[in-house]
Amino acid sequence: MFALRKLETGLAAAYEMERVRADHRMQSFVWRVHVTVPVYEVGFALRIELDEGRAVRIYAEGWAGHLKHTYGGNRLCMWYPQDPIDRRWEREEGLLKLADTAVAHLFKELYYRETGEWLGEEAPHAGPKVEARADNRAAA
C-alpha cells in the first residue's frame, strides 16, 4: 500500500500540484504537476500515474511534436526499463524527485529539438521499448 503523505512530501511546496485520482482499494493514483522548464521557460503539466504492480507512467501534457525518448505520444521514457535500481526512480524517493527528473528530461528534449544533440547518456535499444513491471514493494 502506498503511503501517500510520504510519497507527496515536498511536492506541493515545489510545484503546483493536484491529486486527480486516489483509489486506495485499487492502489491507483494520478497526479497533475505543473512545471516550468528552466532556460526555455516553457510550462507543462506532468500527469503522473502510479499503480500497484505497474511501472510509473509520466506524460507531458501539452507537448506538441516529436519526443526523442518516449513510449509513444507524450509518455516520457526517462530511464531504460532494465537499468539497475540506482539509475531508475523508486517509490521510496518520492514524487518530488520524480517531478524534478521529469523537468530535467524535458529540458533535454527541448535542447535536443533545438540543437539535435542529446545531453547525457542514452541506452541503446533497437526495438520498441517494453515497459518494465514494477515490483510490489510499497512506499515506506
- Mean pLDDT across the chain: 85
Could you write out the DSSP letters of every residue in 72-117?
STTBB--S-TTS-GGGS--GGGHHHHHHHHHHHHHHHHHHHHHHS-
The pTM of this model reads: 0.84
**Is a pLDDT exceeding 80 seen at residue 133?**
no
- Span 109-131, mean pLDDT? 77
Instruction: Give me the half-sphere count of Cα atoms (radius 13 Å) on the Cβ side of residue 57.
Output: 19
Helix (H, G, I), strand (E, B) or coil at 12: helix
The percent of residues in the chain predicted with pLDDT above 90, rounded, is: 55
Is the CB of residue 4 less than 8 Å from the CB of residue 29?
yes
